[in-house]
């Protein structure tokens, strides 16, 4: 997830039991612009394997160039995932992300050219269609399967829904019945148990947890933050911050960590004084000292 599932977060999620790492989506067209190791959105750690690098774009050649470049630089994730789900206007209106749902022949060409390279396992993440009047998930999934895509993940909403309404898990079940390749379901899962139930119910290969994992990596362990005292959460929060500081440098980590912190503490009534201390720290060290146990002694 863009802005959240970066390398530091994914390491934490993996320690908690996540089964596979998907990188934040990255434009296929910029992959060749600088050394892979400097591309924060797609680098990964060996301990994360299996890792799937997710790319978006609207031209087969962009994806092919990106895949060749990654392979030439000996950058070897287990797979490349084609993003066909992003609903953000500046992506989907240009025919990328969920925009590809409106052009199945183009999506199929992107998939087939990537598959033909025979360099990475190719997968795709789709939505149910552009809008209610054009739900084409079965057609999209079938087209991708026939081009040799190995797995499909389905976020069970349309592009026009964005994140509104509820995910239609019956539609995910239909996809799983229709295609032979493994299907991953996604949308509105609130717990590990929820995910297991849906996997069993619809005979899926797995399930993807999105927003419910923000500030809640314990979800992969079968726990939710709301069932944990703050003192139980703090060691993970501090470890996450340290990993961010190593990855981004101290100042940027302090800034980027704010949204994670908001999510980690979202169910607690934090005093305005402590809040302002936490959210005004400009270095990771400063923030770390605000995350000491005694700062939170009122919140048990």
Ligand X SMILES: Cc1cc2nc3c(=O)[nH]c(=O)nc-3n(C[C@H](O)[C@H](O)[C@H](O)COP(=O)(O)O)c2cc1C
Active site members? 86
Helices of type H across 58-191: 60-72, 89-92, 104-117, 137-146, 169-178
Residue 27 pairs in a beta bridge with: 56
For the chain, the straight-line distance linking the first and the last C-alpha, in angstroms and rounded, comes to: 31
Shortest spacing between CB 263 and ligand X, in angstroms: 10
- Burial class for 57, CB neighbours closer than 10 Å (0-12, 13-18, 19+): buried
Shortest spacing between CB 189 and ligand X, in angstroms: 5
Cβ contacts of 259-266, under 8 Å, gap ≥ 24: 259/3, 259/4, 260/4, 260/9, 260/214, 260/215, 261/215, 261/237, 261/287, 262/215, 263/214, 263/215, 263/216, 264/215, 264/216, 264/225, 264/233, 264/237, 265/215, 265/230, 266/215
If the CB atoms of residues 85 and 288 are measured against ligand X, the closer one turns out to be: 85
Shortest spacing between CB 72 and ligand X, in angstroms: 24
Shortest spacing between CB 211 and ligand X, in angstroms: 3
If the CB atoms of residues 57 and 85 are measured against ligand X, the closer one turns out to be: 85
If the CB atoms of residues 60 and 185 are measured against ligand X, the closer one turns out to be: 185
If the CB atoms of residues 122 and 189 are measured against ligand X, the closer one turns out to be: 189
CA angle 112, 117, 119 (to 5 degrees): 120
Shortest spacing between CB 151 and ligand X, in angstroms: 13
Calpha distance 287→257 (Å, rounded): 9
Measured in degrees and rounded to the nearest 5, phi and psi for residue 41 equal -75, -20
If the CB atoms of residues 52 and 143 are measured against ligand X, the closer one turns out to be: 52
Nearest-CB residue for ligand X = 210
Measured in degrees and rounded to the nearest 5, phi and psi for residue 83 equal -80, 115
Shortest spacing between CB 159 and ligand X, in angstroms: 12
Q: Tell how strand 121-126 and strand 51-56 pair up.
A: unpaired
If the CB atoms of residues 2 and 274 are measured against ligand X, the closer one turns out to be: 2
The position carrying tokens 């919140």 is 299
The site for ligand X (CB under 6 A) is made up of 1-4, 24-25, 54, 83, 85, 125, 155, 186-189, 209-212
SS3 category, 206? strand
């Amino acid at each position: 997830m863009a802005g959240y599932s970066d390398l530091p977060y994914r390491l934490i999620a993996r320690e908690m039991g996540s089964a596979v790492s998907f990188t934040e989506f990255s434009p296929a067209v910029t992959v060749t612009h600088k050394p892979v190791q400097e591309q924060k959105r797609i680098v990964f750690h060996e301990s994360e394997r299996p890792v799937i690098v997710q790319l978006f774009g609207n031209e087969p050649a962009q994806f092919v160039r990106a895949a060749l470049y990654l392979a030439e630089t000996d950058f070897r994730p287990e797979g490349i995932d084609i993003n066909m789900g992003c609903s953000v206007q500046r992506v989907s209106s240009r025919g990328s992300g969920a925009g590809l749902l409106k052009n199945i022949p183009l999506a199929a060409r992107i998939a087939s050219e990537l598959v033909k390279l025979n360099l990475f396992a190719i997968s795709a993440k789709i939505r149910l269609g552009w809008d209610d009047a054009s739900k084409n998930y079965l057609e999209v999934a079938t087209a991708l399967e026939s081009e040799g895509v190995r797995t499909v993940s389905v976020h069970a909403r349309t592009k026009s829904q964005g994140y509104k309404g509820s995910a239609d898990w019956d539609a995910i079940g239909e996809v799983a019945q229709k295609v032979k390749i493994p299907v991953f379901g996604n949308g509105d899962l609130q717990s590990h148990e929820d995910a297991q139930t849906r996997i069993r119910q619809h005979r899926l290969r797995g399930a993807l947890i999105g927003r419910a994992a923000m500030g809640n990596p314990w979800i992969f362990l079968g726990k939710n933050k709301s069932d944990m005292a703050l003192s139980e959460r703090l060691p993970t929060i501090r470890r996450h911050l340290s990993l961010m500081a190593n990855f981004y440098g101290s100042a940027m980590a302090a800034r980027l960590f704010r949204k994670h912190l908001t999510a980690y503490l979202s169910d607690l009534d934090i005093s305005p004084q402590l809040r302002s201390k936490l959210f005004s720290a400009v270095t990771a060290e400063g923030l770390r000292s605000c995350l000491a146990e005694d700062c939170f002694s009122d919140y048990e």
